[in-house]
Structure 1
Amino acid sequence: MTTPATEPPLDTGAYQALFDASPKTTKVVTLANLTRVGARPPLGQYIALLWARRNFLWRDARARVGSNSRESVLGKLWLVLEPVINGLTYYLIFGVIMGASRGVTNFVGYLVIGVFLFQFTTKCTTGGTRAVTSNTNMIRAFTFPRAALPIAVVLRELLSYLWALAALAALIYLLPEQETFTWRVALVPVVLVLQVMFTLGLALFLARWTVAIRDLATIVPLVSRIWLYASCVFFSFDTLEDRGLPPIYGTVMQYNPMFQVLDMVRDCVLYATIPDLTSWLILGGWAVGMLVIGFVSFWRAEESYGR
């Protein structure tokens, strides 16, 4: 009968000698480089994070515009047909039935410029109210600068807007009363850039405050409709005095940013004139001011989104 083998006794002295011979190192753990999850980064870093995602935002906008058009039979034709149909409807109501075309040179061009350009801002502001509230699950699941959501809305509408602008140019320069192409048209892109800046700032501002006041999602479309009628989309600014309105209405109208956008584009395209300096200053002030206010207010509430 064999006895089980037993392990030799542990030589603790050898292990202690080995431990004493090993070099002693001390590591200091600091929390200085750690940040709280979901914390709002500084404004400069926030802008850098958005800029780093610019390619994704642009490709995502292109993909969404393409996917939306593929779901319908006419596809991207709807990007052109929708504003054309709206313009035709407003022409029949205001131009033919209500006689708003009296005293307006090239009322068709006057009307389609108003309808096409105002529709871009309306869609961006309406989409901006839902940009954050409709993506709550994604905000809770991923860490990214939340301003990317309203920016993505404006990018998608901008891509659709380019198709509408091509249709607008065709209507103005091919349909009766045809306009003469002049060098003043080169000023139109500058006006449109200011419009996009203003619209982006407004979309950011509305996206931020709709999170706090959910009723804004319902109120904004109603206010946009009033804004549409107050921006001289269907009638001429010069006819306000003929309608017996007090001069204060004309003053308020001139400080309306969308009125300035429409009026300046009409000057360049329809009347071959350069918008005056006052118009540039008013629209430029609205564009820069609204973009700064909208972006900063959205950034300041960064930590509240998704709660």
Structure 2
Amino acid sequence: MADTGESRAEAAAVVTVDGARLRRVGARPGLGQYIRSLWDYRSFILFDSRSRIAGANSVNALGRVWMVLNPILDGAAYFLVFGLLLGTGRGIENFLGYLVIGVFLFRYTSGAITAGSRSISGNLSIVRAFRFPRATLVIATNMRELLLFVPTLITMVVLVLTIPPAEDITWRWLLLIPLLALQTLFNIGASLLLSRFVAHWADLSNLIAFGTRIWLYLSAVFFSIERFEHVPALVTAMHLNPMYCVLDIARQSLLYAEAADPMRWIVLGAWTAVLLVVGILVFWSAEETYGEDR
């Protein structure tokens, strides 16, 4: 009887649960916690980027050779059309080097942003099956594009050193390191912003591909901005174009051994900072909606 009374007393006892730290399953975490969680998933980001590279290369017989062949073939086509047929290289010192840098560096950003914008829409099975910060998919895609770009970057440097008139290595070549870091962060910011909308409206990916082609023609990839000095508004718009800033810094450093206008660094840095902040805020705000049926 005593045991029975004691059991009833225990059953009637009120248990107080502190629910301050309880969250709804799948709820969006706070922004600070969300950003910190991205660092916790760094191993996943590196593994995902490397494994996808290996998988993509196994499909083609030439594998990683295409990482180098594609930009070279693009550069050759642009040289034929714009350099020889249209004569856009007239007045540009070392036009071949000028074109190689433009094509290779622009291709890196356009490829990273296009692939990054599809990071969520192209991985819906993973998004729906597991709980993790979705931004890791965008970052992993950009890390994959960076790793893919490394052999292309080496090829670009070799071409600049060997194509007549061959350039000499100077200390300004080291500026390529912070430039590539800024360019990569710029790509991540743009990818975060665009992937949030492509995740809900997949058709936007086609507009992004079209937009990058227009961007190509507005970034002085195969012509000099001096051709438009008689249109000051256009020149100003070009100076505010982040990709023009990337190409101008690289060309001045690698081809002409000169310091680029400091405004190129300022404009590129401003674009990168704004896109990273806006991109992460916009992407995080829709964290709970990714993978929903439409």
Shorter-chain TM-score range: over 0.9
- Measured on the aligned residues, the alpha-carbon RMSD in Å equals 1.9
Separation of aligned partners in 1, 2:206 and 2:270: 28
Distance in 1 (alpha carbons) for counterparts of 2:249 and 2:15: 66
Q: What CA distance in whole angstroms lies between the structure 1 residues aligned with 2:132 and 2:36?
A: 12
Corresponding letter in the other structure for 1:184: R
CA distance in structure 1 between the aligned counterparts of 2:121 and 2:141, rounded to whole angstroms: 13
Corresponding residue SS for 1:28: coil
Q: CA deviation at 1:27?
A: 2.9
Q: Is the contact between residue 129 and residue 216 of structure 1 (CA under 8 Å) also seen in structure 2? A: no
* Paired AA for residue 133 in structure 1: S
Distance 1:193 1:24, change over 3 A: same
Is 1:194 matched with 2:182?
A: yes
**Alignment partners' CA distance in 2, 1:20 and 1:66:** 63
1:116-265 alignment to 2 at 5 Å? Answer: 116-241=104-229, 245-265=230-250
Runs of 4+ in 1 over 6 A off after TM superposition: 20-25
Partner Cα distance (1:223, 1:135) in 2: 23
Which position in structure 2 is the counterpart of 1:270?
255
Tell me how far apart the structure 1 counterparts of residues 197 and 5 of structure 2 sit (CA, whole Å): 68
Return the index of the structure with the highest Cα Rg: 1
CA–CA distance in structure 2, aligned partners of residues 264 and 296 of structure 1: 29
In the alignment, structure 2 segments of 5+ residues that lack a partner are none
Give the letter for the 1:107 counterpart.
F
Matching of residue 299 in structure 1 with residue 284 in structure 2: yes
Residue identity over aligned pairs, in percent, reads: 43
Measure how far apart 1:141 and its partner are: 1.2
Q: Structure 2: which amino acid aligns with 1:212?
A: H
1:46 deviation in Å? 0.5
Inter-partner Cα distance in structure 1 for 2:232 and 2:101: 25
Distance, in Å, in 2 between the alignment partners of 1:19 and 1:218 is 68
Task: Answer yes or no: is 1:289 the counterpart of 2:274.
Answer: yes
How far did residue 139 of structure 1 move? 1.3
Q: State yes or no: 1:83 paired with 2:66.
A: no
Write the deviation string for residues 144-180 of structure 1: whole angstroms up to 9, x where unpaired: 0011111111111000111110000010001212001
Q: Distance in 2 between matches of 1:109 and 1:27?
A: 75
Distance 1:305 1:73 in 2: 36
Counterparts of residues 29-68 of structure 1 (less than 5 Å): 29-68=17-56
Change (3 A) 1:20 1:219: closer
Q: Partners of 1:94 and 1:73 in 2: how far apart? A: 31
Q: Distance in 1 between matches of 2:121 and 2:241?
A: 28
1:71 and 2:71 correspond: no
Q: Distance in 2 between matches of 1:22 and 1:256?
A: 71
Secondary structure class of the residue paired with 2:21: coil
2-structure distance, mates of 1:206, 1:20: 60
Partner letter of residue 71 of structure 1? V
Measure, in 1, the Cα distance between the counterparts of 2:256 and 2:154.
19
Aligned residues: 292
The one-character-per-residue Cα deviations of 1:163-213 (angstroms, maximum 9, x if unpaired) are 110000010001212001111111111111111111110011000111233
TM-score, length-scaled by structure 2: 0.94
Partners in 2 of 1:127 and 1:198 — Cα distance?
14
SS of aligned partner of 2:199? helix
